Amino acid sequence: MTRFARSALIIIDLQKAIDASYHAVHGPRNNIDAESKIARLLARWRTDKRMIVHIRHDSTFPESAYRPGQIGNCFKEEVAPLPGETVIAKTTNNAFIGTPLEELLRASHVQELLIVGVSTNNSVEATVRMAGNLGFDTYIVADACFTFAKPDYYGRPRSADDVHAMSLANLDGEYCTVIETETLLQNASASGPR
């Protein structure tokens, strides 16, 4: 197991907008303690002075709770950036498109990406797929991500756990490795630089 010495913790779209009721129109989210798990990872990455990147979604859709200028665009309190931490704004699902994320990671000689946030099958999955295909050693922290219930294209209802688990199955071993918060905290070396 890697000790994540040259890793970046990348937190995707964990803004107040994710609590907007329209996300749960087909049923509730899963992993209700994902925020507290991300907060634990964040605290550890801060203590160890490893790289942290906060991705903020600045939606261009007028009706989106993620649109700038609204309270929904603000980060959730428990995972908000501290002054001086890197924040990268994006306007698509994928944190690499139209942003300096790849350039920043390459310049910082980061090879391992730990990706957390929302939603598992949307912006997280789009970013994880791209990260793996760009050649980064990519990990998705399963219990530090969440999503919502959603019917499949033919109308069959799927719970948030169903949607989450199918997304993880598509990603694991093909674009990334699926890991859990506790495993990550136990294995991350405290001695790594950055």
Task: Write out the residues near a copy of itself by the rule CB under 8 A.
Answer: 92-94, 97, 121-122, 125-126, 129-130, 132-134, 142, 150-154, 156, 158, 161-170, 172, 174-175, 178
Q: How far is the CB of 77 from a copy of itself (least distance, A)?
A: 28
Q: At closest approach, how far in Å is the CB of 194 from a copy of itself? A: 26
Type and span of the H or E element at 182: helix 181-187
Q: In terms of CB distance, is 41 or 95 closer to a copy of itself?
A: 95
Cα distance between residue 68 and residue 61, in whole Å: 10
- Count H helices, E strands: the chain? 5, 6
Residue 69 or 153 having the CB closest to a copy of itself? 153
Q: Which is nearer to a copy of itself, 36 or 133 (CB)?
A: 133
Q: Are 30 and 160 in contact (CB under 8 A)?
A: yes
Return the structure tokens found at 60: 């261009």
How is residue 144 annotated by DSSP? E
Minimal distance, residue 54 CB to a copy of itself, in Å: 20
Number of residues written out for the chain: 194
For a copy of itself, the closer of residues 116 and 163 by Cβ is 163
